[in-house]
Amino acid sequence: MKKIERKKASKKGLILQRAATMFRERGFAASSMRDLAETVGIEAASLYNHIRSKNEILESICFDVANIFNEKIQEVESGRQSNINKIESLLRFHIEQMVDNYENVIVSDREWRHLDEPYRANFQNQRRTYRKRFAAIIEDGIVKGEIRRIDAATAVLIMLHAINGIESWHRSKVKMNADELANNMIRILIDGLRKPA
């Protein structure tokens, strides 16, 4: 019994993993269940023994990613570091996820609009909330004099989107290692381009 369940779980895991790759490469709407089945090595109809629908796969990917980031920001918020260091921690985590959990992170960011209701609204809400919590850290940093007087909401959008640049790093031939990449990105985002006079 345990064996069967483990087998089922791992086959479902395989389906989700192959789906993430396919959704990233072609987009959710342009990915067919027949093609997905083929990469998994079964017939299309057999997929439905493991998942309920195409949309359920997307739900699974999107909410997995959302949970990962929600847990992290909770942990960071309750820490005792400076706000600048909290931001650096979050950025490092985003970069790390972008490197290690690439397919899922990209798909959730790019394809969540295809979620059926009420999942779409739910996901959008979680996004909004996450950004507000991130902005609150920046605002606290401004109040405490660690951070320039910038618009916090704009800064959050910049940070979160900037990290999507790693997408291109993934496909690049000249692979910088992941740590070096993270250090470069954080330095640029936190200290800017301009050389201090």
Q: Which C-beta is closer to its own copies: that of 14 or that of 186?
A: 186
Name residues contacting DNA, limited to 82-141 (CB under 7 A): none
Which of DNA, its own copies, none does residue 32 bind to, with CB < 5 to 8 Å depending on kind? Answer: DNA
Applying CB under 7 A, does 10 fall inside the site for DNA? no
Residue type, 58: L
For residue 53, report the phi and psi dihedrals to the nearest 5 degrees.
-165, 165
Please write down the long-range contacts of 163-167, taking CB distance under 8 Å and 24 or more positions apart. 163/91, 163/94, 163/95, 163/98, 164/98, 164/106, 164/109, 166/95, 166/98, 166/99, 167/98, 167/106
For its own copies, the binding residue among 9, 121, 143, 176 (CB under 8 A) is 176
For residue 174, report the phi and psi dihedrals to the nearest 5 degrees.
-75, 85
Q: Which C-beta is closer to DNA: that of 14 or that of 68?
A: 14
Q: CB under 7 A: which stretch of 38-46, 88-96, 129-137, 175-183 binds DNA?
A: 38-46
SS3 at position 165: helix
Which of DNA, its own copies, none does residue 2 bind to, with CB < 5 to 8 Å depending on kind? Answer: none
Applying CB under 8 A, does 99 fall inside the site for its own copies? no
For DNA, the binding residue among 54, 76, 97, 98 (CB under 7 A) is 54
Do the beta carbons of residue 102 and residue 162 sit within 8 Å?
Answer: no
Residue type, 19: A
Tell me how far apart the alpha carbons of residues 129 and 53 are, in angstroms, rounded to a whole number. Answer: 28
Do the beta carbons of residue 185 and residue 162 sit within 8 Å?
Answer: yes
Applying CB under 8 A, does 173 fall inside the site for its own copies? no
Q: CB under 8 A: which stretch of 47-55, 66-74, 115-123, 149-157 binds its own copies?
A: 149-157
Tell me how far apart the alpha carbons of residues 98 and 160 are, in angstroms, rounded to a whole number. Answer: 11
Tell me how far apart the alpha carbons of residues 82 and 146 are, in angstroms, rounded to a whole number. Answer: 8
Applying CB under 8 A, does 9 fall inside the site for its own copies? no
Applying CB under 7 A, does 39 fall inside the site for DNA? no
- List of residues contacting its own copies (CB under 8 A): 26-30, 84, 87, 110, 113-114, 138, 141, 145-148, 150-151, 154-155, 157-166, 168-169, 176, 181, 184-185, 187-196
**Residues in touch with DNA (CB under 7 A):** 11, 31-35, 42-46, 48-50, 53-55
